[in-house]
Amino acid sequence: METFLLTDLSIEKDRTPGWHVVKDAGEVFQMGDGTWVLTSTDAVRFACRHPEIFSSAEAFRTAGVPVPLVPVAIDPPDHTKYRRVLDPLLSPRVVNAMEDRLRAQVRDLVAAFASTGRCDVVTDIAKLYPTQVFVTLFGLPLADRDQLVRWVEICNEHSTHGTADPNPTVVEAAMAMFRYVQHFIDEKRQNPGDDVLSTVLALKGDEAWSNEEVLGLIWLVLVAGLDTVTGAIGFTMLYLARNRDLRRKLVADPGLIPPFIEEVLRIEPPAPTTSRVTTQEVELCGVRIPAGAPVMLCLAAANRDPEKFEHPDDIDTAQKERGHLTFGGGIHRCLGAHLARRELRLVVEEFHKQIPEYEIAPGFEPEVVWPSATLHLRSLPLVFPVPGGAS
């Protein structure tokens, strides 16, 4: 048994050494708190593809959230009911139809600081844009964006990470967010629109969702979906700010943007782990895991598997293997993967249209928030030339 815990890792400034510590412990090993950890691509994929053995529902049963986290905390066969409704609502066709609106939103965010010569990617784009996209999808007022950002930030950064006593600050923010969401659920039942929330509420008969299920979906998207995109935007711009040659290649050839984004997602997964509980004894990579055991799928370690990736620790847009696990796999593969990829591409495109040259503010060293429910940069100040003025 390894005595370290993931929260012991020093990954604030550089994740690479920390994930190497995890990988070096083995493909399957047990941490000091009794949790089993899967680190290889094959092991993690096996767990993702066998929900009948590695249960997501059991893992989230003790999460302390008073509503069902739809659909991640639902196992088959019930899981199918929810994905059948949700997958079409976030399909590539739907995201394509939204692109002009989503592009305009990020263009406006960048325009707000483009003439100032400086910005903080985290506070000026990464925390705001995913929330704007959420309120657009769910038909909520854009004016409420900043309040939602504050609630989500509190819930993620002050999480007690599975300890018995919930953080009072988190409870207060969560209850406020539940009341806010409930207001719009009630309103849209009476006056539906053409948004995701109205579509779900319009379901009838056996397909209808309970009020708790609707709340669980929105809670999951808000707390698990927005902060991960915030993290991905920050990491994307960090790598570009540190690599002028790469940045110029992407500006010259926009076709390189999608493979670049996939590499950032692989190297810097905002949600580096996901939890499961075994429903039966299972042997994996020569190791026996007992039934009822807590299991952590370390996506971050699997994404740097040297058996699968030629350059496991480096951004390589020519990387032959594209099968990273940042969005998970199997039936619980991330519902918003198509949308997240589109948001990242639009940020890169629109930022460079207005600000093609930039660098990290002198003397600043980027760090991630850790421990935290998700990984994201605390801050990323950039400086850049202003047309017709000094930088």
Average model confidence (pLDDT) for the chain? 93
pLDDT at position 2 is: 86
The mean pLDDT value for 10-26 works out to 96
The 10s digit of each residue's pLDDT in 175-222 is 999 999 999 999 999 999 999 999 999 999 999 999 999 999 999 999
pLDDT at position 318 is: 87
Asked if residues 300 and 269 have their Cβ atoms less than 8 Å apart, the reply is yes
Q: Which residues contact 175 (CB under 8 A, 6 or more apart)?
A: none
Q: What's the longest Cα–Cα distance across the chain? A: 68
Question: Would you kindly state where each structural domain of the chain is located, as residue ranges?
Answer: 6-383
Q: Collapse the DSSP code of 143 into the 3-class scheme (helix H, G, I; strand E, B; otherwise coil) and give the result.
A: helix
Asked if residues 340 and 228 have their Cβ atoms less than 8 Å apart, the reply is yes
The 10s digit of each residue's pLDDT in 306-365 is 999 999 999 998 877 678 999 999 999 999 999 999 999 999 999 999 999 999 999 999
Structure pTM? 0.95
The 10s digit of each residue's pLDDT in 109-159 is 999 999 999 999 999 999 999 999 999 999 999 999 999 999 988 888 776
pLDDT at position 3 is: 87
- Strands, E assignment, the chain: 28-30, 36-38, 54-55, 118-120, 273-278, 282-284, 287-289, 294-298, 359-360, 381-383
For the packed helices 129-138 and 92-111, what is the interaxial angle rounded to 10 degrees?
130
In this model, does residue 390 exceed pLDDT 80?
no
Q: Which CATH architecture has domain 6-383?
A: Orthogonal Bundle (1.10)
pLDDT at position 163 is: 47
